Amino acid sequence: MATRAGPGPRGRHDLTEGPIGKALLAFALPTLLSSILQSLNGSINAIWVGRFLGEQALAATSNANLTMFLLMAFVFGFGMAATVLIGQAFGRRDMDSVRRTIGTAIGSFAPFAALIGLLGWIFAPDLLRLLATPAESAALALAYLRVIFIAMPPILIAVVLIMGLRGTGDSISPMWFMIVAVVLDSGLNPVFILGLGPIPAMGIAGSAMATVIANYAALIGLLFYIYVRDLSVRLRGPELRYLIPDRQLLKTMIVKGFPMGLQMIVISSSGLATLGLVNREGVETTAAFGVAMQLWTYLQMPAMALGAACSAMAAQNIGAGKWERVGAITRSAITYNLLITGVLVVLLIAFDRAALALFLGGGSPALPIAQHIQLLATWSFLLFGVTMILFGTVRANGAVIGPLIILFIGLYPVRLGFALGAYHWLGADSIWLSFTVGSLANLALAAAYYLHGGWRKARMQPPPREELVEEAQADAEPGGRLNPTA
């Protein structure tokens, strides 16, 4: 039975007190920077591979990275479940439960990550065949994917640790080690690809080797930092037994985490389905859409960071029983999203030609198509941001099925249905307008669920036995129950 560790630490990571807007922004900005760094890292590595090894190598990394994304989607869900559990425990000052949760997460996930790395190495050829990897890039993709699977254990374990830290209100520490990983990965790519100095030339496998070294170094540094600073997620002495997974906690992480991971799959699969519709419009339209998506990646980041911040803050306040702050957190996050994303949308529309020309060149025939796409679809990300924030709040109390169903409805029957159904009237414009139509549907359903969905009555996990006894006694009539129960 978990024991309370006293009132627990109060400090800069306590999100249950003080000005909400300031704390929300302070949490969201490092998370936003981490997301930007991850995207830049991928872009820089793609430049190294494309410039030094050519288009076939670049196609090979794309096929391998799709496999990595599918794995990371489920890790995201598992990590978000841990974030909420840790956030609620931290909010009620139960440090023992914080450490029990992180111990279960690491203890169950480290062997799983090692197994993924081993199986990935063995079955990499089968994975690539399943993805229908073009024959001309299959050998390069195999060389890259096998080395990348060696990096999976530190990547997956680091994700769980980072999500755990965010549950305690600390988004700054993960940012520093994200910087370490990005600098090492981007800097070592040309060294291992070309074989600079005493390092042998490894070609495309060298790009993957840079990722391996960067992520092992970042994980070791993060663990060292956690123990030197004696952060809340560290395990010492008898607490190391928490690495033996608690079955109830593990069940909660899986049951709650799986739908969160599926949300990422729904988003990515709908994107692939949309790309299939775009491809039939010709090469120039496909190129224009691809560039628009590059810019939209950065446009979504403030909403994703604010959604993560909202979830962590709401979880702590739910754990502390401060429900009056949960609504204020949600309103502050929506306000920040409308301001930040709104400014980015206006700037992108105002300077769209210059931004798109960075990718396409000023004389590209795809440039006016990309401008038209931006004009019709970019506004939808304001609505998308509000939806992600509402989802972040409700999942802080363990409500995960509702957001998954809402997301599926908005992206599949509504968005793709509109794109197909209106095509013979609007042509390709039905595809671009479908983003706004789908986002409106998602926002309307998310708002209805937030206001009337009963998510406040949900529980992240069953309460401990002593809490059930207290509730039963509190509900009893002073003279005793008329119908005694076991």
Q: What is the pLDDT of residues 344-377, one digit of tens each?
A: 999 988 888 888 887 777 778 888 999 999 999 9
Last residue of a domain, one of 222, 245, 268: 245
Q: What percent of the chain has pLDDT over 90?
A: 55
**Are 208 and 151 in contact, with CB atoms under 8 Å apart?**
yes
Establish if 22 belongs to a structural domain: yes
Residue 286 within any structural domain of the chain: yes
CB 35 within 8 A of CB 305: yes
Residue 66: pLDDT above 90? no
Residue 235 CA to residue 106 CA, distance in Å, equals 11
- Residue 478 pLDDT grade (very low, low, confident, very high; cuts 50, 70, 90): very low
Do 234 and 267 fall into the same domain?
A: no
| Same domain for 89 and 22 | yes
**In this structure, are 411 and 318 located in the same domain?**
yes
Distance of CA 113 to the CA centre of its chain: 18
The answer on 411 and 276 residing in a single domain is yes
Please tell me the least confidently modeled range out of 96-110, 331-345, 346-360, 399-413: 346-360
Indicate whether 466 belongs to any domain: no
Domain-embedded: residue 285: yes
User: If we measure between CA atoms, which residue out of 173, 300, 285, 190 comes closest to residue 232?
Assistant: 173
Kindly report the backbone phi and psi dihedral angles of residue 9, in degrees, each rounded to the nearest multiple of 5, phi listed first. Answer: -75, 140
Give every CB contact of residue 311 below 8 A, 6+ residues apart in sequence.
80, 83, 84, 87, 392, 393, 395, 396
Q: In which band, very low, low, confident or very high, does the pLDDT at 471 lie, cut at 50, 70 and 90?
A: very low
pLDDT tier for residue 238 given thresholds of 50, 70 and 90: very high
Question: Mean of the pLDDT values across residues 101-110?
Answer: 93
Q: Residues 383-390: what's their mean pLDDT?
A: 96
Residue 2 lies in a domain: no
Answer yes or no: is 473 within a domain: no
pLDDT value of residue 357? 83
> Which pLDDT belongs to residue 468?
39
Residue 126 neighbours by CB distance under 10 Å: 9
Q: Does residue 345 share a domain with residue 326?
A: yes
Domain around 420: 256-459
Q: How confident is the model at residue 268 (pLDDT cuts 50, 70, 90)?
A: confident
294 located within any domain: yes
Predicted confidence (pLDDT) at residue 227 exceeds the cutoff of 60: yes
| Any domain includes 484 | no
Boundary-marking domain end, from 187, 215, 245: 245
Distance separating alpha carbons of residues 204 and 195, to the nearest angstrom: 11
C-alpha span between 178 and 424 (Å, rounded)? 47
Do the Cβ atoms of 192 and 199 come closer than 8 Å? yes
pLDDT at 76: 80
Alpha-carbon gap, residue 208 to 220, rounded angstroms? 19
Instruction: Check residue 320 and give its pLDDT.
Output: 92
Give yes or no: residues 240 and 339 share one domain.
no
Are residues 370 and 285 located together in one domain of the fold? yes
pLDDT: is 450 or 472 the higher one? 450
Q: Is the pLDDT of residue 278 over 50?
A: yes
List, for residues 389-403, the tens digit of each pLDDT value: 999 999 999 899 999
Q: What is the mean pLDDT of the chain?
A: 86
Give how many domains the chain has, as a whole number.
Answer: 2
Residue 283 — pLDDT band, cuts 50, 70, 90? confident
Determine the Cα–Cα distance for residues 136 and 146; give it in Å rounded to an integer.
Answer: 17
- Residue 382 CA: distances (Å) to CA of 170, 237, 296, 445: 27, 48, 11, 16
What is the average pLDDT across 30-51? Answer: 83
Quick one: tokens of 441?
């549907």
What are the CA-CA distances from residue 153 to residues 133, 146, 360 (Å)? 25, 13, 37
Q: Are residue 234 and residue 310 in the same domain, yes or no?
A: no
- 276/225 same-domain check: no
Minimum mean pLDDT among 2-16, 108-122, 278-292: which range?
A: 2-16
Instruction: Tell me: do 292 and 228 sit in the same domain.
Output: no
216 and 298 housed in the same domain: no
Residues in the chain, how many? 486
- Same domain (yes/no): 30, 116: yes
**How far is CA 462 from its chain centroid?**
26
